[in-house]
Amino acid sequence: MSNQLPQLSSMILPAFLTLRRSSKITEKGIQTNKTFKAVEIEEEHLNAFKAYFDFSTNVPLTYIYTIAQRAQTALMLDKHFTLPIPGMVHIENQLTQKSELDPYSSFDVTSSAFVAYEESDSLKPTFEVELVQNGHVVATCRSIYTVKRKDKKQKIRKKALAPLQQAKHQELWNVNAKTGKEYASISGDKNPIHTSLIFAKMLGFKTQIMHGWYSVCKIEQFLEGHYNQNVSDISVKFLSPVLLPSQPKFLLQQDENKAFNYQLVNHSNARILLTGKMK
């Protein structure tokens, strides 16, 4: 593997070619890591991202994930990571900014992957990413995925989450069918499940599904614009896909520690689509 951090769009086809891999792993599990040196932010790309969401923050925290995502995907393509990438579902993200990232200076990105051995249960690949600038860790990202496998054990049904009560703010989002292609263009995440109706139907969806991170970006910008909040910590759990087009309901609640709890809810059946916290 090269020390150069590849663009996300260049890894889409190689990712699909990993379908030839098996979802079986040895009892040692999977552990691998990689450091990408002298990574630079393309000013045009950052400005396009900020303009699309109307950010005024120098480097939005959600933008930093687009860098971490590249490192994670590159690590998934490493020969030591033996699972197929298609079928891996992103279920959780924890993103923290330690100090301000200078977009005009280079930085290193370290990425590690760990998958614990399970004989039959679903696997939970976990990725840890650090951005290091001038010898200091400026941001960290922890992402958890799931790889479902046939399981003979009887599944225990989890209790469904309830929508936030006494929400400080709630509104319906009008998410149109073009959103997938628009976000793919400014983020580099051109997974066809978000942009192609035919491909989405091949995978069992009625339509394309929205990028989960698109929702998180909108929520960060909402806090910036309405509460003058400089977000330095984001946690999110992706529970159910959002079809395009749709009108999910956005709920926001502020807790006693001044952190913002948020949810995206299917307004027709109250199913929680994603839930998380920002501060």
pLDDT single digits (tens) 2-35: 579 999 999 999 999 999 998 888 899 999 999 9
pLDDT at site 37: 97
User: Do 134 and 32 reside in the same domain of the chain?
Assistant: yes
User: Do 109 and 32 reside in the same domain of the chain?
Assistant: yes
Beta strands in 135-245 (DSSP E): 136-146, 169-172, 233-238
Boundary-marking domain end, from 146, 177, 193: 146
pLDDT tens digits along 187-213: 999 999 999 999 899 888 999 999 999
pLDDT at site 248: 97
pLDDT at site 166: 79
pLDDT at site 47: 98
User: Do 108 and 220 reside in the same domain of the chain?
Assistant: no
Which CATH number is 28's domain given? 3.10.129.10
Number of domains in the chain: 2
User: Do 180 and 78 reside in the same domain of the chain?
Assistant: no
CA 205 to the chain's CA centroid = 20
Binning pLDDT at 50, 70 and 90, where does residue 278 land? Answer: very high
In a domain, 152, yes or no: no
Which of 50-59, 132-141, 267-276 is least confident? 267-276
Closest CA to 215 of 167, 265, 268: 265
User: Do 183 and 274 reside in the same domain of the chain?
Assistant: yes
User: Do 35 and 124 reside in the same domain of the chain?
Assistant: yes
Q: What is the pTM of this model?
A: 0.93
User: Do 224 and 104 reside in the same domain of the chain?
Assistant: no
pLDDT at site 1: 46
In a domain, 164, yes or no: no
Q: Give rounded-to-5 percent helix, strand, coil for the chain.
A: 25, 30, 45
Q: What is the mean pLDDT of residues 245-263?
A: 95
User: Do 274 and 203 reside in the same domain of the chain?
Assistant: yes
User: Do 84 and 200 reside in the same domain of the chain?
Assistant: no
pLDDT at site 87: 86
Strand order in the sheet with 89-97: 30-39, 107-115, 126-133, 136-146, 89-97, 233-238, 272-278, 260-265, 249-254, 169-172
In a domain, 79, yes or no: yes
User: Do 141 and 14 reside in the same domain of the chain?
Assistant: yes
pLDDT at site 62: 99
* Residue 59 domain boundaries: 8-146
Q: Is 225 helix (H, G, I), strand (E, B) or coil?
A: helix
In a domain, 90, yes or no: yes
User: Do 137 and 188 reside in the same domain of the chain?
Assistant: no
